[in-house]
Amino acid sequence: MNSVIINIVNCLLLIFSANSVLLIAKHNMYFLIPLSVVAFISANILNCYVPGKYRSSRMKVCAHGVQRLKTFLFSSIISFTIHVIAFFFLGLSWFPLLISVLVCIFAHCVIFWNGMVSVYISSTQLGIHHRFMGVFLAFIPVVNVIELIKIIRITSDEIKFEENKEKTNTLRAEYKICKTKYPILLVHGVFFRDSKKLNYWGRIPKELERNGAVIFYGNHHSASSVSDSAQELTNRIKSIVNQTGCGKVNIIAHSKGGLDCRYAVSFCGAEKYVASLTTINTPHRGCGFADYLLKKIPENVQNKIADTYNTSLKKLGDTSPDFMEAVTDLTEKNCEKLNRIMEKEKDKFKGIFCQSVGSKLNKRTSGKFPLNFTYDLVKYFDGPNDGLVSEKSFQWGEMYTFLTVKGKRGISHGDMVDLNRENIPEFDVREFYVNLVSDLKNRGL
């Protein structure tokens, strides 16, 4: 049974069970009471059947929720119309009408809240805004219907998107298009740590692994100087090579992680263990607004922020976090110095495929917090940017890819690592990484 048929059957069952009191009151059809109860139970049971095959239980729950919300929407509109007609034309007294309204509200509330809870706990695309508005506007007539339609549209689009991804991955599963010669090492940026519970790279690693990739993580400190992070990453790379016998790794590094990896190759002895280095939205030429902030913010305030951060991150696993060193190394002045000394070691990169990727946020309001806050500041000092790093700072290596989308949205610094797990129109971040790693495979890496 496809979803359309199920929704129609669900809707008819719910309409009958919710409005049967009117028939009973008008024609004394008391035999309909058990039938209406059975119809109500059947509507709820049938709603548990979700057509289609979903790889994740999350998508099954989401599809179940959408199905219930659609049933509620159509049934409630029809039931409302039936009660209006009954009030004006059937000549019933107020008591049976009241009972009918209460029964109708109860029947629809069961379906509605089941659907709302289901999509709220399973959808990654609704966001805080629509979750809040869905509850806040639930009891405001007309407006609640408009918001409900938006929620159904967003979650339905999410389900269709995931269904298409599932079909794509199933069709190409046997080809293992991301099974590179050397494993992939994902290196995070500043102020984050690798975590299984909250993956810095969002849905990207699972997508790569499903297509054959072998994934490792940098597991380095959240905030350190470029040189200290580079040494830590070099030790990590050597450990991976020694434990697996893989010989080398393909590095994909985001933000400051790209600077850390360049330094690791240039000065820490990592060059013989690196097959390729891909930097994602890395500030190779620094961030001009970082220079400005370090000049304008009083030193005592800087130290207080640094102490708070360092103390907090020690509790989360960093042994020696250094907030100020990390920030200072992202300034234009320090990046100019780093580029100058690393240029002298460019021979270390011979035999390593190097490329860079950058993106642009088109409008401040389209970015998520805090990038919507920093966008204008970066734009003032550095021009077009991703909310954190300017466009002119991205390019490095023998190949450069610049990404954006039409309209107001654009692609932010966080979007490039799927930070918000958002499906952006015209840019599928998971598929972008699949194609990127597939290209490494085709290069024999």
Residue ranges of the domains in the chain? 3-167, 176-442
Question: Residue 88 and residue 28: Cα distance in Å, rounded?
Answer: 20
Q: Describe the chain by its helix, strand, coil percentages, rounded to 5.
A: 60, 10, 30
* Tokens encoding 111: 């379906």
> In this predicted structure, what is the pLDDT of residue 43?
62
List 279's β-bridge partners, or say none.
Answer: 253, 356
Instruction: Compute the Cα dihedral for 167, 150, 406, 283 and give only its sign.
Output: negative
Mean pLDDT of the chain: 85
Q: Name the 3-class secondary structure at 142.
A: coil
Task: Report in angstroms the alpha-carbon separations of 340 from 229, 346, 390, 403.
Answer: 19, 10, 20, 27
For residues 222 and 313, the answer to whether their CB atoms sit within 8 Å is yes
* Tokens encoding 406: 């039409």
> In this predicted structure, what is the pLDDT of residue 304?
85
Question: Residue 1 and residue 6: Cα distance in Å, rounded?
Answer: 7
**Which one has a higher pLDDT value, 60 or 441?**
441
Q: Name the 3-class secondary structure at 287.
A: strand
Question: Residue 35 and residue 406: Cα distance in Å, rounded?
Answer: 54
Closest CA to 280 of 135, 171, 169, 436: 436
What phi and psi, each to the nearest 5 degrees, are found at residue 185?
-110, 115
> In this predicted structure, what is the pLDDT of residue 32?
59
Residue 151 pLDDT greater than 80, yes or no: yes
The arithmetic mean of pLDDT across residues 65-84, rounded, is: 84
For the stretch 19-50, pLDDT in tens is: 676 666 565 665 556 666 666 666 666 565 56
Residue 176 pLDDT greater than 90, yes or no: yes
Question: Residue 385 and residue 411: Cα distance in Å, rounded?
Answer: 10
**94-103, 324-333, 352-361: which has the highest mean pLDDT?**
352-361
Which of the listed CATH numbers 3.40.640.10, 3.40.50.1820, 3.10.310.10, 3.40.50.720 matches domain 176-442?
A: 3.40.50.1820
Phi-psi region of 181 (alpha: psi -120 to 50; beta: other; left: phi over 0): alpha
For residues 384 and 166, the answer to whether their CB atoms sit within 8 Å is no
pLDDT > 70 in the chain, percent: 86
**56-60, 109-113, 128-132, 435-439: which has the highest mean pLDDT?**
435-439
53: number of Cβ within 10 Å: 11
> In this predicted structure, what is the pLDDT of residue 35?
66
**Which one has a higher pLDDT value, 297 or 189?**
189
392: number of Cβ within 10 Å: 15
